[in-house]
Amino acid sequence: MDKDAFLSLGIKVTEVNEKIFIIHGNNRSRSPFSNAVCILDRRRVIMDTGCGLDIIKNLANALGIDTVILSHSHPDHTGGTWLLQEIGQPEILVPRQGSESIASSDKLALRFVGDDLAELWKETYLPVTGFRDFTFTSEYGDLFEYSTGENRFIAMHTPGHLQDHYCLWEPDKKILLGFDIDLSPFGPWYGNPESDILLFRESIERIKNLPVEIYISSHARPVKPPHFMKRLSAYESVIDERNATILDVLPSSGAVSIEEIVDTSPIYETNYILQPDRIMRYGETQMIAKHLSHLVASGLVADEGLGRFRRLDSTS
């Protein structure tokens, strides 16, 4: 199958080589959708299923999918899994770290936004991703290797975005599937309770050491050297830029609460009065809280108690 054959199905793709194709997700692969990677080898494999139910249905009916490999638990990456299971019963591999919740909307809601926002998250976010509960075949962990025939992929645990986030490395062809280390101008996203800035940095460092020739992410087009390292460095530097922005918001005399900082929206740059999105606000609150924790530990911010913070000047 070639690029034209995909186009005849109404599916936009980027052909990486004769067996590996990037399936472009709906909404230009931006959340609540993502790219999928389709491997047409001795086994027909799809990695992540969040490209859109219409695309998933066409793929499943035209190709027959043997295996689904999910990179992490976010529904914009897993939304079409139930439909593939309904059409063809493929084997479904999920990360070990998130296996207790990855297939359950109720468990995901509690994991990602807590009890207060769980119902709102299920009612507003899940329908646009197409997610429904599914069952999986098996779990995988760090350094798990999966052969599709002429290609083999090694799982690399890269937490930070989520505790169960993985990249997949094809060492023979030097192709790295980075998924939500997506190199977007927005920068790293770590807006769930389990997300972790330091682990995100460690994961970026881990993939920096690979001799990557082609980098494939979930929300952008593939990148090749020398642009890969430049994009990765710029992506990571956003974390430091956010630290600086949050420091600028903090007063050096008096103190402000996290909620007051969130009101200024230093990360999303939105107006929560005009756009009162509780889920978005929750994610930004989570990210700001992680930055504040780091800034306090670095001696740049003082925690005044009762959830209030102030900037420490060099003379403080």
| pLDDT for residue 7 | 85
Contact indicator for 13, 1 with CB cutoff of 8 Å: no
* pLDDT number for residue 216: 98
Across 269-282, average pLDDT = 96
Q: Please say whether the dihedral angle defined by the alpha carbons of residues 73, 75, 76 and 79, taken in this order, is positive or negative.
A: positive
Q: Which CATH architecture group holds 3-237?
A: 4-Layer Sandwich (3.60)
The mean pLDDT value for 126-154 works out to 98
C-alpha closest to that of 188 among 203, 175, 168, 166: 203
% of the chain surpassing 90 pLDDT: 93
Q: Mean pLDDT check: name the lowest of 1-15, 85-99, 144-158.
A: 1-15
Residue 254: pLDDT above 60?
A: yes
C-alpha count within 13 angstroms, C-beta hemisphere, residue 117: 18
How many C-beta atoms lie closer than 10 Å to residue 147's C-beta?
11
The secondary structure of residue 142, as a DSSP letter, is T
**What DSSP character marks residue 28?**
G
Picking from 190, 303, 187, the residue whose alpha carbon sits closest to that of residue 250 is 303
* Structure confidence by residue, pLDDT tens digits, 199-243: 999 999 999 989 999 999 999 999 999 999 999 999 999 999 999
To the nearest whole percent, how much of the chain has pLDDT over 70? Answer: 99
Question: How would residue 316 be classed by pLDDT, with cut points 50, 70 and 90?
Answer: very low
| Domain locations along the chain | 3-237, 250-311
| Run of H or E including 229 | helix 227-249
For the purposes of burial, counting CB atoms within 10 Å of the CB of 57, is it exposed (0-12), middle (13-18) or buried (19 or more)?
middle
Assess whether pLDDT exceeds 70 at residue 315: no
Q: What is the pLDDT of residue 314?
A: 65
Question: Residues 290, 197: contact at Cβ < 8 Å?
Answer: yes
Phi, psi of 68 (to 5 degrees): -115, 130
What does the pLDDT average to over 253-269? 95
* Stretch (H or E) spanning 82: helix 81-88
Answer whether 294's CB lies under 8 Å from 196's CB.
no
Q: What are phi and psi of 154, to 5 degrees?
A: -105, 125
pLDDT of residue 265: 97
pLDDT average, residue stretch 51-67: 95
pLDDT category of residue 1 using cuts at 50, 70 and 90: confident
Q: Give 300's pLDDT tier (boundaries 50, 70, 90).
A: very high
Q: Per-residue pLDDT for 181 more than 50?
A: yes
- Mean pLDDT, the chain, rounded, equals 96
Helix (H) or strand (E) holding 105: helix 105-124
